[in-house]
């Protein structure tokens, strides 16, 4: 590999990692603060993608589709939290796994009924459709750069929100000691509802952004679910910073793994997870159990 | 319950048993030939009716029904019944499902499946049980090679058959260095293996075979790799969602503008609406194309549209031909499903005009067929020509070949 190719593969890895971060950030918050194992997290990703497809068909504009889908996703997260998840905070993880697995089946069936089983494509908005020529033989799609920029913006916004706002303070406190936050008289129910809803919406946004490059198809949620759990475990449960570093590591390991050791590429990310866990059993930024 | 039992005297019981015995004997002894003629012919269909491949299963079934209806809904003068079982395209359930049809339902004919993994399990059992079986989609080479059997027929294609001609065709077009890319699973490897065989035989060289973990659809890293290798062209096999994503990524990454894309027909079949402009100019080979201008095809597409309201596709054609084969074989034996040898011979010798072209079988029971070269033009797989006429799978490892 020449230096130009390495640079582009680096870009590929970071871009994949940034998209993963959007998904994993929500998952790690829900897992770390609410203590809920949310297997249905991938379903929000799928719903985001289908909403982007459906609304951009209806409105003819991808930007408008996202503007409409975002509040819809926030609302959906809120409804799911109030109607289902909120009853299980005190319960064992097994109940949560059963419930959220059931949610996967329900969402998949709804998707089949509403949108059918066909694969759909979403057009990249015209202004972002071009490519940037990087070397004589290599070019890079503008839309992928755009996704990376959006993901970085979201990551920065999350950093500011968590470190410099009141609700961020509560989230930080909640992730290190849930009981203490409750004792201090913070409305935990409201905090949990917000966190779940935002987490679900972040994942849905990832689905919306990925729709033009990933296409939209049944079962797309399950594909990202496992890899985002890997990210959460590597980064340490409940840590946004960990999720960010973990996503970057997975993105790069996956990208370079499949080019340099194609025979082993499907296990590179899991080997990485195992190595990190041997070194730090609670993940990179995890609170020691 | 207990009191009821007590009221039946021993004599009553004896009498009833005797009557029942007589009745069943009366039914049984003289009726053997009559049953074979009068009872409905059972055709078992093991196809996916749910999940990702559901549309394929329904098209195969509906086209079979259309073919049978055109023949007056009779098989060799007898009524028939289609026993449909959802395969769920799950190889793990394939053996149990096949047994359900062969042993449980005692079907006279077995047909299906879409998934090659299911086909392997199904063909193995069918070969042991001797049930006449018609594979209506799965392309695994082994079905008409190592696993072939006198009672196993195929109305679709072998993976080798649709890709080997593309190798020859690409060499003919002056392409020298090609990268091939597919998922790392059995069908993918058979497809790019056959392509390589054809391409290298004709003087080309495959500079790299890229295998991507199945069913991963993140291709960006591999596209960068392809751009760096600068081949004359790329040969790809993906299907369904993977095909949509690969073709779109290939165009959007800018690689398509520099390196032309070729592939097995499934890369652009049934996926064009989702692929949009990204698929324009992609060349593929397949044993069928929607736009084939053959009288049998035009007539079939028209009838299928009228019957179902949907457009026919390659899967529907395969289902339709399965029905044609059944109808012709059963006519030959006048509906006697016990005449296995005659049925097999009738199927082997069947000749008719399929929507895909003239129909005939190879010695290993795989269709000998023209493989068409298609180019995506204005959202349609336009037939450019015939990549190779009368392609016959070599049937390597089959005792009958």
Give B 272-301 residues with CB within 8 A of chain A.
Answer: 273-276, 278
Best mutation target among B177, B222, B252 (most A Cβ atoms within 10 Å) is: B252
- Let me know whether B186 and B280 are in one domain: yes
Which of the two residues, B23 and B315, has the higher pLDDT score?
B315
Whether B297 contacts B356, CB under 8 Å: yes
Whether B391 contacts B362, CB under 8 Å: no
Query: What pLDDT was estimated at residue A264?
Result: 84
Count CB atoms within 10 A of the CB of residue B74. 15
Name the residue among B213, B244, B276 with its Cβ closest to that of A265. B213
Q: Where are the alpha helices (DSSP H) in B100-185?
A: 116-129, 159-172
Q: Is residue B20 part of a domain?
A: no
Closest CA–CA distance from residue B171 to any residue of chain A (Å): 23
When mean pLDDT is compared across A37-41, A211-215, A274-278, B315-319, the lowest value belongs to A211-215
When mean pLDDT is compared across A89-93, A275-279, B308-312, the lowest value belongs to A89-93
User: Residue A96: is its pLDDT beyond 60?
Assistant: yes
Whether B350 contacts B359, CB under 8 Å: yes
Choose among A28, A1, A44, A31: nearest CA to A224: A44
* Cα nearest neighbour of B253 on chain A: A141
Q: Is residue B230 part of a domain?
A: yes
Contact residues, chain A to chain B, C-beta under 8 Å: 1-2, 5, 8-9, 12-13, 15-16, 117-121, 123-124, 129, 131, 133, 137-141, 143-144, 213-215, 217-220, 223, 254-256, 258-259, 262-263, 265-266
pLDDT in tens, A220-230: 898 899 999 99
Choose among B244, B239, B236, B242: nearest CA to B260: B236
Closest CA–CA distance from residue B255 to any residue of chain A (Å): 8
Mean pLDDT of chain B: 90
Calpha distance B332→B342 (Å, rounded): 8
Closest CA–CA distance from residue A215 to any residue of chain B (Å): 6
User: Residue A94: is its pLDDT beyond 50?
Assistant: yes
- Let me know whether B167 and B218 are in one domain: yes
Whether A232 contacts A138, CB under 8 Å: no
Query: What pLDDT was estimated at residue B15?
Result: 54
Q: Record the tokens describing residue A142, joined without a space.
A: 């503008």
Which of the two residues, A286 and B70, has the higher pLDDT score?
B70
Choose among A36, A47, A89: nearest CA to A72: A47
Query: What pLDDT was estimated at residue B29?
Result: 46
- Let me know whether B276 and B348 are in one domain: no
Whether B356 contacts B349, CB under 8 Å: no
Closest CA–CA distance from residue A136 to any residue of chain B (Å): 10
Contacts of A233 (CB under 8 A, 6+ apart): A246, A273, A277, A283
Name the residue among A121, A143, A217 with its Cβ closest to that of B276. A121
Calpha distance B343→B75 (Å, rounded): 12
Query: How many inter-chain contacts (A to B, CB under 8 Å) are there?
Result: 103
The distance in angstroms from the start CA to the end CA of chain A is: 43
What mean pLDDT is predicted for residues A136-147? Answer: 87
What mean pLDDT is predicted for residues B171-195? Answer: 95
Calpha distance A78→B343 (Å, rounded): 63
Choose among A222, A217, A221, A225: nearest CA to A115: A217
Beta strands in A30-169 (DSSP E): 131-133, 139-141
Q: Is residue B69 part of a domain?
A: yes
Calpha distance B167→B230 (Å, rounded): 19
Count CB atoms within 10 A of the CB of residue A143. 19
**What is the distance of C-alpha B108 from the center of its chain?**
19
Residue with tokens 């062969």: B102
Calpha distance B365→B144 (Å, rounded): 6
What is the three-class DSSP state of A288? coil
Residue with tokens 């960990």: A242
Query: What pLDDT was estimated at residue A151?
Result: 94
Whether A36 contacts A96, CB under 8 Å: yes
Whether B339 contacts B332, CB under 8 Å: no
- Let me know whether B314 and B387 are in one domain: no
Q: Is residue B107 part of a domain?
A: yes
What is the residue extent of each domain of chain A? 22-220
Residue with tokens 């392309």: B139
- Let me know whether B255 and B152 are in one domain: no
What is the three-class DSSP state of B15? helix
Choose among A44, A45, A68, A74: nearest CA to A55: A68
Q: Record the tokens describing residue A264, joined without a space.
A: 């082993």
Instruction: Judge whether B230 is closer than 8 Å to chain A, CB to CB.
Output: yes
Determine, for residues B228 and A1 on separate chains, whether the beta-carbon distance falls below 8 Å. Answer: yes
Length in residues, chain A: 289
Residue range of the domain that includes B263: 160-286+373-391
Name the residue among B210, B221, B252 with its Cβ closest to that of A124. B252
Q: Is the peptide bond before B147 cis (omega within 30 degrees of 0)?
A: no
pLDDT in tens, B229-262: 999 999 999 988 889 889 999 998 889 999 999 9
Structurally, how many domains does chain B consist of? Answer: 2
Query: What pLDDT was estimated at residue A182?
Result: 83
- Let me know whether B194 and B229 are in one domain: yes
Query: What pLDDT was estimated at residue B349?
Result: 95
Q: Is residue B338 part of a domain?
A: yes
β partners of residue B43: B82, B109
Closest CA–CA distance from residue B84 to any residue of chain A (Å): 20
State the DSSP code for B104.
I
pLDDT in tens, B11-33: 554 555 554 544 444 444 444 44
Q: Is residue B337 part of a domain?
A: yes
User: Residue A152: is its pLDDT beyond 90?
Assistant: yes
**Rounded (10°) angle between helices B91-99 and B116-129:** 30
- % residues pLDDT > 70 (chain B): 91
Q: What is the DSSP string of B31-100?
A: THHHHHHHSPEEEEEEE--SSTTHHHHHHHHHHHHHHHHHTTT-BTTB-EEEEEEE-TT-HHHHHHHHHI
pLDDT in tens, A22-66: 999 999 989 888 889 999 999 999 999 999 999 999 999 999 999
- Let me know whether B110 and B121 are in one domain: yes
Q: Record the tokens describing residue A170, joined without a space.
A: 């509560």
Torsion of CA B142, B145, B150, B156, to 10 degrees: 60
Does the predicted interface ipTM exceed a cut of 0.90? no
Q: Where are the alpha helices (DSSP H) in B220-292?
A: 220-229, 240-252, 272-275
Q: Where are the alpha helices (DSSP H) in A84-165?
A: 93-115, 142-164
Order the strands of the B109-112 sheet from edge to edge: B80-86, B41-47, B109-112, B132-135, B152-154
Q: CB-side exposure of A134: number of CA atoms within 13 Å?
A: 21
Residue B60 banded pLDDT, cuts 50, 70, 90: very high
pLDDT in tens, B129-181: 999 999 999 999 999 999 999 999 999 999 999 999 999 999 999 999 999 99
What mean pLDDT is predicted for residues A216-222? Answer: 87
Give contacts of B218 with chain A, Cβ < 8 Å: 16, 254
Closest CA–CA distance from residue B364 to any residue of chain A (Å): 34
- Let me know whether B48 and B139 are in one domain: yes
What is the three-class DSSP state of A182? helix
Query: What pLDDT was estimated at residue B174?
Result: 96
Determine, for residues A123 and B276 on separate chains, whether the beta-carbon distance falls below 8 Å. Answer: yes
pLDDT in tens, B336-361: 999 999 999 999 999 999 999 999 99
**What is the distance of C-alpha B332 from the center of its chain?**
24
Q: Residue B186 is part of a domain; what is its CATH number?
A: 3.40.50.2300
Give contacts of A139 with chain B, Cβ < 8 Å: 227, 253-255
State the DSSP code for A34.
I
Q: What angle do CA A156, A223, A12 make, to 5 degrees?
A: 50
* Cα nearest neighbour of A1 on chain B: B228
- Signed CA dihedral, A90, A95, A99, A101: sign only: positive
Whether B115 contacts B138, CB under 8 Å: yes
Name the residue among B210, B225, B245 with its Cβ closest to that of A215. B245
Count CB atoms within 10 A of the CB of residue A97. 15
Instruction: Judge whether B51 is closer than 8 Å to chain A, CB to CB.
Output: yes
- Let me know whether B228 and B299 are in one domain: no
Q: Is residue B33 part of a domain?
A: no
What mean pLDDT is predicted for residues B89-107? Answer: 94
Whether B285 contacts B371, CB under 8 Å: yes
Give contacts of A220 with chain B, Cβ < 8 Å: 241
- Let me know whether B165 and B107 are in one domain: no
β partners of residue A109: none
Query: What pLDDT was estimated at residue A288?
Result: 57
Best mutation target among B212, B254, B310 (most A Cβ atoms within 10 Å) is: B254
- Let me know whether B266 and B363 are in one domain: no
Burial label, A87 (beta-carbon count in 10 A; 0-12, 13-18, 19+)? exposed
Q: What angle do CA A138, A144, A147 make, to 5 degrees?
A: 160
Residue B122 banded pLDDT, cuts 50, 70, 90: very high
* Cα nearest neighbour of A130 on chain B: B252
Contacts of B173 (CB under 8 A, 6+ apart): none
Calpha distance B274→B272 (Å, rounded): 5
- Let me know whether B382 and B324 are in one domain: no
pLDDT in tens, A178-209: 788 888 888 888 889 999 999 999 999 999 99
Q: Is residue B274 part of a domain?
A: yes
State the DSSP code for A134.
-
What mean pLDDT is predicted for residues B266-286? Answer: 93
* Cα nearest neighbour of A10 on chain B: B221
Query: What pLDDT was estimated at residue A2?
Result: 80
Query: What pLDDT was estimated at residue B3?
Result: 45
- % residues pLDDT > 90 (chain B): 79
């Amino acid at each position: 590999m020449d230096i130009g190719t390495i640079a582009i593969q680096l870009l590929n890895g970071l871009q994949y990692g940034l998209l993963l971060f959007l998904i994993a950030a929500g998952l790690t918050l829900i897992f770390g603060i609410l203590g809920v194992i949310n297997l249905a997290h991938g379903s929000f990703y799928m719903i985001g993608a289908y909403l982007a497809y459906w609304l951009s068909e209806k409105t003819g504009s991808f930007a408008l589709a996202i503007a409409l889908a975002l509040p819809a996703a926030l609302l959906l997260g809120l409804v799911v939290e109030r109607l289902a998840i909120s009853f299980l905070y005190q319960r064992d993880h097994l109940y949560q796994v059963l419930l959220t697995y059931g949610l996967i089946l329900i969402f998949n069936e709804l998707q089949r009924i509403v949108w059918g089983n066909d694969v759909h494509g979403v057009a990249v908005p015209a202004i972002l459709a071009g490519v940037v020529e990087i070397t004589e033989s290599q070019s890079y799609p503008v839309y992928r750069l755009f996704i990376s920029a959006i993901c970085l913006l979201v990551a920065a916004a999350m950093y500011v929100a968590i470190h410099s706002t009141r609700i961020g303070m509560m989230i930080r406190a909640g992730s290190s000691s849930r009981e203490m936050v409750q004792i201090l008289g913070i409305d935990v129910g409201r905090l949990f509802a917000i966190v779940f809803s935002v987490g679900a919406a972040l994942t849905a946004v990832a689905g919306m952004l990925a729709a033009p490059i990933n296409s939209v198809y049944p079962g797309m949620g399950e594909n990202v679910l496992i890899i985002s759990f890997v990210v959460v475990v590597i980064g340490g449960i409940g840590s946004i910073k960990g999720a960010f570093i973990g996503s970057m590591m997975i993105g790069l390991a996956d990208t370079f793994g499949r080019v340099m050791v194609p025979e082993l590429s499907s296990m590179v990310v899991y080997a990485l997870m195992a190595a990190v866990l041997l070194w730090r059993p609670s993940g990179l930024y995890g609170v020691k159990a | 319950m207990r009191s009821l039992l007590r009221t039946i005297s021993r004599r009553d019981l004896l009498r009833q048993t005797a009557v029942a015995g007589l009745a069943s004997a009366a039914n049984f002894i003289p009726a053997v030939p009559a049953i074979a003629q009068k009872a409905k012919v059972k055709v078992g269909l093991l196809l996916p009716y749910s999940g990702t491949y559901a549309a394929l299963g329904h098209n195969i079934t509906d086209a079979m029904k259309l073919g049978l209806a055109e023949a007056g809904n009779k098989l060799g003068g007898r009524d028939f019944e289609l026993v449909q079982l959802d395969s769920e395209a799950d190889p793990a359930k394939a053996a149990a499902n096949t047994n359900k049809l062969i042993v449980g339902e005692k079907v006279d004919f077995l047909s299906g499946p879409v998934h090659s993994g299911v086909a392997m399990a199904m063909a193995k059992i069918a070969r042991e049980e001797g049930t006449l079986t018609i594979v209506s989609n799965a392309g695994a080479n082994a079905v008409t090679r190592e696993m072939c059997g006198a009672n196993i027929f195929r109305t679709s294609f072998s993976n080798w058959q649709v890709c080997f001609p593309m190798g020859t065709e690409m060499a003919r077009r002056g392409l020298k260095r090609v990268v091939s890319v597919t998922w790392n699973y059995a069908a993918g490897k058979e497809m790019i293996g056959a392509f390589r065989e054809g391409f290298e035989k004709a003087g080309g060289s495959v500079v790299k075979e890229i295998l991507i973990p199945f069913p991963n659809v993140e291709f960006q890293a591999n596209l960068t790799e392809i751009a760096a290798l600068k081949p004359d062209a790329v040969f790809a096999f993906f299907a369904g969602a993977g095909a949509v994503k690969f073709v779109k990524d290939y165009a959007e990454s800018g690689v398509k503008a520099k390196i032309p894309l070729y592939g097995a027909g499934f890369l652009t079949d049934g996926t064009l609406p989702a692929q949009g402009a990204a698929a324009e100019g992609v060349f593929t080979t397949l044993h069928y194309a929607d736009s084939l201008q053959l009288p049998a095809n035009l007539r079939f597409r028209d009838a299928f549209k009228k019957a179902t309201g949907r457009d026919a596709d390659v899967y529907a054609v395969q289902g339709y031909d399965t029905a044609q084969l059944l109808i012709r074989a059963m006519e030959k034996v006048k509906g006697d499903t016990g005449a296995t040898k005659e049925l097999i011979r009738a199927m082997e010798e069947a000749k008719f005009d399929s929507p895909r072209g003239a129909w005939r079988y190879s010695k290993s029971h795989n269709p000998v067929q023209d493989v068409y070269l298609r180019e995506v033009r204005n959202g349609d797989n336009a037939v450019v020509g015939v990549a190779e006429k009368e392609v016959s799978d070599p049937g390597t490892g089959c005792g009958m070949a």
